[in-house]
Structure 1
């Protein structure tokens, strides 16, 4: 990537990462002007860095002239120590849950102050929508978030409890004391629930799975329409899946190798 820097005080790498960070939430495709507004960078800088990122494969240009995240980033992310092997080991359990429930099935890990979805199997059309893989959910309002938070370090829990707890619906837990009691219940029961707390009309249930130290912990969740399925059954299903995944991650089986990267085309010159 070019080393030119027309904005003193920030490195070229920092600016390029800021451009990639513009693709958050529902912003899957952005125009060059939208990227400039989202990043606050000069249009000339955005133009130059976008072209560098496209040449490298970090961004791709759509047929409409907009930009989206490139598969080169997915290729690199697939080598993450925390998720390499987790998704492969979890998939049989996620698939089994989907076949039984036809609901959304989620796999999440703790990242920063949120639950990061690393895998999702989409439910049938009558199930309320939920974020895609690569999306994030709040710790205090989602079932996967509560499970991960409940089994985090006491210091981390206190940081979350002392921060703002956003109310997404009237059912969202927004007080530290109520959330503290909820986390204690999650640790006692081994399962977390979120009933209309993040999205009206949706209920999720999640259980913990633990892996080797370099992988840490993950949460498996079923998310469906409120009242459509017996909550007790959902709890049993996710707890069984969580225990199964924990056992699979503890096994001695070798990881599947990642295929070597094929040669890339030579970047075009400008």
Structure 2
């Protein structure tokens, strides 16, 4: 039994990862029975793991059950792919929000999804958008299309060869249609998604080119159809993405936290 575990073949660390994976997607608060169901682990094992994680700070007790703890967020925020990028991106995201009052998002590719690492929520009347830490499909969101368009050909081929979920009647699920769209995105430098992921929403995204440790990111705007001129949205998001790319190229923003803070303190 791996790790002296009561479940054959699973180490203690593997079980901890299962518990954390239970909070994937939009699941933010789970009961102990929810976690046991998602992990398929015995309730006694889940209870023991949860208590240890609460003591460490990885999970927190809430009125509705358990949620991801601040300590785990603190560690995750130090990721090379998120910390420097988010820090450099915030002035550009804030400027986009002040101009448009739409949802402003920045995402990176993680596996077969676009992972949102920051979001500034739009004002009322703007359709719902994912939260920071949430995921968007690569083929149906403007952020995902940008990331997929600029990914390596082997990644594009793998995604287009996999089953493509249909979220609305406007979702493109034909691999050849999507392949042509990705070619156009690389040519134009901007992607759109009109009612393809959520009815009553339109978004556009542009690529951010970071240093190797950051890679490609996508800045996007999400609004309601007709609320803003789509050509204007494209122009604004491209300007922000280019400005952020320039900043990342000049500052190497993905360096570790301590040296950055040290330089700022001594400036």
CA drift of 1:4 comes to 5.2
Say if 2:213 and 2:254, in contact at 8 Å, map to a contact too.
no
Q: 1:266 aligns to what?
A: none
Q: What is the TM-score with the length of structure 2 in the denominator?
A: 0.93
Q: Deviations over 1:63-86 (max 9, x none)?
A: x26100001111111111111210
Q: 2:157 aligns to what?
A: 158
Q: What is the rounded CA distance, in whole Å, between the counterparts of 1:57 and 1:10 in structure 2?
A: 23
Q: What is the TM-score with the length of structure 1 in the denominator?
A: 0.92
Q: Which has the higher helix share?
A: 2
1:1-270 alignment runs, 5 A limit: 5-62=5-62, 64=63, 66-252=65-251, 258=257
Q: 2:263 aligns to what?
A: none
Say if 2:113 and 2:138, in contact at 8 Å, map to a contact too.
yes
State the 4+ residue runs in structure 1 displaced beyond 3 angstroms.
Answer: 252-260
Q: Deviations over 1:155-212 (max 9, x none)?
A: 1000011011111001000100100011011011110000000001100000001111
CA drift of 1:126 comes to 0.4
Q: Deviations over 1:20-63 (max 9, x none)?
A: 1101222111111111111100011001000111111110111x
Q: What is the rounded CA distance, in whole Å, between the counterparts of 1:173 and 1:254 in structure 2?
A: 35
CA drift of 1:227 comes to 1.3
Q: Which runs of 5+ in 1 are unaligned?
A: 261-270
SS in 1 for 2:133: coil
- Equivalent residue pairs, number: 257
Q: What is the rounded CA distance, in whole Å, between the counterparts of 1:51 and 1:97 in structure 2?
A: 42
SS in 2 for 1:248: helix
The 1:213/1:70 distance shift into structure 2, 3 A limit, reads same
SS in 2 for 1:85: helix
SS in 1 for 2:132: coil
Q: What is the rounded CA distance, in whole Å, between the counterparts of 2:256 and 2:182 in structure 1?
A: 38
Q: What is the rounded CA distance, in whole Å, between the counterparts of 1:193 and 1:254 in structure 2?
A: 28
Q: What is the rounded CA distance, in whole Å, between the counterparts of 1:93 and 1:9 in structure 2?
A: 48
